[in-house]
């Protein structure tokens, strides 16, 4: 082989490897400047709560819609709900289990099913933890009476959608400590995200997106909703139902999620201020982690791995983070003055725990505008949660997951506001 060709092959291999390489080294983070949440686009300063609420917050929300998650349509005007089942003796008589269909269209063809557990020992309406599940409602608990969700995972070669393997009853129960929540006086509600939009890239044909296409439209426009925004929109539609359910205190609903659902929970809290609290567990890139840190998962990586999650415009910021008109601390800020919790795991470096923490730190001035406490600069030690302000945080030992320990912290934090 000619020397020149060899050299060319070698250098393209190096370029390829460098592009693949993932940075986990703090010292290799390029210097960056974050957009200031308290300076408006016309350079005026935010000086009061009212500046924030009426001017800056809407501005930031709209920037996130246009450049990151995409704009979602309004809720269907003919949305309606139907209680499909109710059992007052679930979980050894500890809870009432309800399954509620939220119909997106009048013809009953498109709907999601909310699975709910409400503590039987209650004096009135209860506060609720609410979030998406990955594999189907029936996977969150062994309870044999939960209706099986229709699994909507990506079919493999030659497989039809209805041939995709079903997930086992209760297989995700370590992630959903229903008994513990019930005994602490909380309700739990969850929806299988596949009911809203299956989690794979099919050009936006099989979820809720086509229900809202204009005549001739076949996919969302560059600033219209991707899958994460569709999920958040679905959570917000569920809120319409909670407001009608007398067992639920709709002023005390915490929207929460793990990982991609953590990103979704934060966005749901941003677009729908009826959520009284948002909880992000290991949400990483596009969630609580600052995009400009370019460590672990980056904007480039996430758009390549999951081209359907964000709006098309977000792809412009791959390896071009400094051009982003927002960063994720502003997403945390959109929760103010409502409490927000950020959870990280020490072995979850892909999600950049430090970047998740720093978002809370840089969102703190907005909470202070309301006379509230956020986070101080020092990252707490592992397994030493900080619950003293309106931004809660912990970094737990172990891997990328949501477990009993995480939930215990969420309950302690929620107790401060909901009890
Ligand atoms: C990863 C993805 C992360 C995170 C995670 C999850 O593969 O890169 O952004 O969302 O999946 O949802 O578990």
Q: Is residue 314 part of a domain?
A: yes
Q: Is 400 a catalytic residue?
A: yes
> How confident is the model over 217-231, as pLDDT tens digits?
999 999 999 999 999
pLDDT (tens digit, 9 = 90+) per residue, 305-341?
Answer: 999 999 999 999 999 999 999 999 999 999 999 999 9
- The per-residue pLDDT for 164 is 79
Give the model's pLDDT for residue 2: 52
How many angstroms separate the alpha carbon of residue 244 from the centre of ligand 1? 34
Quick one: pLDDT at residue 9? 55
Q: How many domains does the chain have?
A: 1
**pLDDT grade for 7, boundaries at 50, 70 and 90:** low
Judge whether residue 44 has pLDDT over 70. Answer: yes
Number of helices (H), then strands (E), belonging to the chain: the values are 12, 9
For 354-394, what is each residue's pLDDT tens digit? Answer: 999 999 999 999 999 999 999 999 999 999 999 999 999 99
- Is the C-beta atom of 311 inside 6 A of ligand 1? no
Helices (H), 44-142: 49-51, 57-64, 90-93
**Could you tell me if residue 270 is inside a domain?**
yes
Q: Tell me the average pLDDT across 116-139.
A: 98
In a domain, 6, yes or no: no
Out of 154, 306, 401, 402, mutate this one to test ligand 1's pocket (max ligand atoms within 8 Å of CB): namely 306
Task: State the pLDDT at residue 159.
Answer: 83
- Residue 135 Cβ inside 6 Å of ligand 1? The answer reads no
Rounded Cα distance between 196 and 233, Å, is: 9
Residue 19: pLDDT band (50, 70, 90) is low
Q: What is the pLDDT of residues 149-177, one digit of tens each?
A: 998 888 888 787 777 778 999 999 999 99
Residues ≥6 apart with Cβ < 8 Å to 93: 120
| Catalytic entry in 72, 149, 259, 291 | 259
Beta 126-133 vs 340-345: how paired, if at all?
unpaired
Query: Confidence class of residue 3 from pLDDT cuts 50, 70 and 90?
Result: low
Asked if the model's pLDDT at residue 14 lies above 50, the reply is: no
SS3 assignment, position 255: strand
What's the alpha-carbon Rg for the chain, to the nearest Å?
A: 22
Identify the H or E element spanning 401: none
Strand order from edge to edge, sheet including 187-192: 80-89, 95-103, 111-119, 187-192, 126-133, 248-258, 277-281, 340-345, 391-396
Per-residue confidence (pLDDT) for residue 17, from 0 to 100: 42
8 domain-assigned:
no
Q: How do beta strands 187-192 and 95-103 pair? A: unpaired
Is 303's C-beta closer than 6 angstroms to any atom of ligand 1?
no
Q: Is the pLDDT of residue 96 over 70?
A: yes
pLDDT at 134 over 90: yes
Q: Of all atoms in ligand 1, which is nearest to the CA of residue 282?
A: 4
Domain that holds residue 344: 61-152+161-418
Crossing angle of the two packed helices 260-271 and 57-64, in degrees rounded to 10: 140
State yes or no: is 72 an active-site residue.
no
22 CB near ligand 1 (under 6 Å): no
- Kindly list the distances between the CA atom of residue 125 and the CA atoms of 92, 113, 122, 157, in Å, as whole numbers in the listed order: 21, 21, 7, 48
For residue 29, pLDDT beyond 90: yes
Instruction: Examine residue 23 and state whether it is found in any structural domain, yes or no.
Output: no
Asked if the structure places residue 36 within a domain, the reply is no
| Paired tokens of 214 | 């204009």
Q: How far apart are CA 89 and CA 62, in angstroms?
A: 45
Q: Ligand 1 centre from 260 Cα, in Å?
A: 6
CA of 87 to the centre of ligand 1 (A): 35
Mean pLDDT, rounded, for 66-75: 98
Residue of the CA atom closest to atom 8 of ligand 1:
302
The reported pTM is: 0.95
Is 259 near ligand 1, meaning CB less than 6 Å away? yes
132 lines ligand 1 (CB under 6 A): no
Q: Which tokens hold the place of 159?
A: 């497989």
Tell me, yes or no, whether 411 lies in a domain.
yes
The verdict on the CB of residue 283 being under 6 Å from ligand 1 is no
Q: What do you get for the CA distance between the two ends of the chain, in Å?
A: 75
Q: Is residue 358 part of a domain?
A: yes
The more confident residue out of 285 and 8 is 285
Q: Are strands 187-192 and 126-133 parallel, antiparallel or unpaired?
A: parallel
The helix (run of H) or strand (run of E) holding residue 228 is helix 227-242
Q: What is the CATH number of the domain that holds 212?
A: 3.40.50.1820
For the chain, the average pLDDT equals: 95
DSSP 174: G
Percent of the chain with pLDDT over 70: 95
What is the whole-number distance in angstroms between the Cα of residue 199 and the centre of ligand 1? 11
The pLDDT score that the predictor gives to residue 15 is: 46
Q: What does the pLDDT average to over 19-41?
A: 93
Q: What is the pLDDT of residue 347?
A: 98
User: For 248-261, what is each residue's pLDDT tens digit?
Assistant: 999 999 999 999 99
């Amino acid at each position: 082989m000619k020397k020149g060709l060899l050299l060319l092959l070698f250098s393209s291999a190096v370029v390829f490897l460098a592009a693949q390489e993932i940075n986990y080294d703090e010292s290799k983070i390029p210097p960056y400047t974050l957009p200031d949440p308290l300076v408006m686009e016309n350079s005026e300063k935010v000086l009061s709560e009212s500046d924030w609420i009426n001017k800056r917050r809407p501005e930031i929300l709209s920037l996130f819609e246009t450049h990151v998650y995409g704009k979602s349509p309004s809720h269907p005007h003919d949305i309606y709900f139907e209680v499909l089942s109710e059992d007052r003796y679930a979980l050894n008589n500890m809870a009432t289990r309800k399954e509620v269909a939220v119909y997106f269209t009048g013809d009953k063809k498109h709907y999601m099913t909310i699975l709910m557990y409400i503590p039987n020992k209650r004096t009135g309406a209860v506060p609720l933890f609410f979030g998406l599940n990955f594999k189907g409602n029936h996977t969150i608990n062994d309870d044999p009476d939960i209706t099986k969700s229709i699994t909507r995972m990506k079919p493999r070669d030659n497989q039809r959608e209805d041939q995709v393997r079903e997930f086992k009853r209760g297989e995700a129960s370590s992630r959903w400590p229903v008994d513990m929540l019930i005994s602490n006086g909380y309700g739990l509600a969850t929806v299988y995200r596949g009911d809203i939009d299956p989690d794979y890239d099919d050009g936006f044909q099989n979820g809720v997106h086509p229900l809202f296409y204009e005549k001739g439209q076949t996919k969302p426009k560059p600033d219209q909703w991707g899958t994460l925004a569709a999920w958040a929109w679905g959570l917000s539609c569920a809120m319409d139902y909670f407001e009608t359910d007398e067992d639920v205190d709709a002023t005390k609903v915490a929207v929460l999620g793990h990982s991609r659902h953590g990103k979704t929970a934060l966005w749901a809290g941003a677009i729908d201020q009826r959520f009284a609290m948002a909880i992000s567990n290991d949400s990483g890139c596009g969630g609580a982690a600052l995009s400009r840190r370019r460590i672990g998962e980056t904007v480039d990586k996430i758009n390549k791995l999951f081209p359907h999650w964000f709006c098309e415009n977000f792809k412009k910021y791959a390896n071009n983070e400094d051009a982003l008109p927002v960063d994720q601390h502003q997403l945390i800020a959109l929760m103010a003055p409502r409490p927000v919790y950020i959870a990280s795991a020490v072995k979850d470096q892909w999600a950049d725990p430090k970047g998740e923490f720093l978002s809370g730190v840089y969102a703190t001035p907005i909470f202070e505008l309301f006379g509230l406490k956020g986070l101080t600069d020092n990252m707490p030690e592992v397994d030493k949660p900080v619950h003293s302000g309106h931004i809660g945080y912990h970094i737990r030992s172990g891997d990328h997951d949501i477990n009993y320990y995480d939930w215990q912290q969420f309950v302690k934090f929620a107790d401060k506001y909901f009890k």
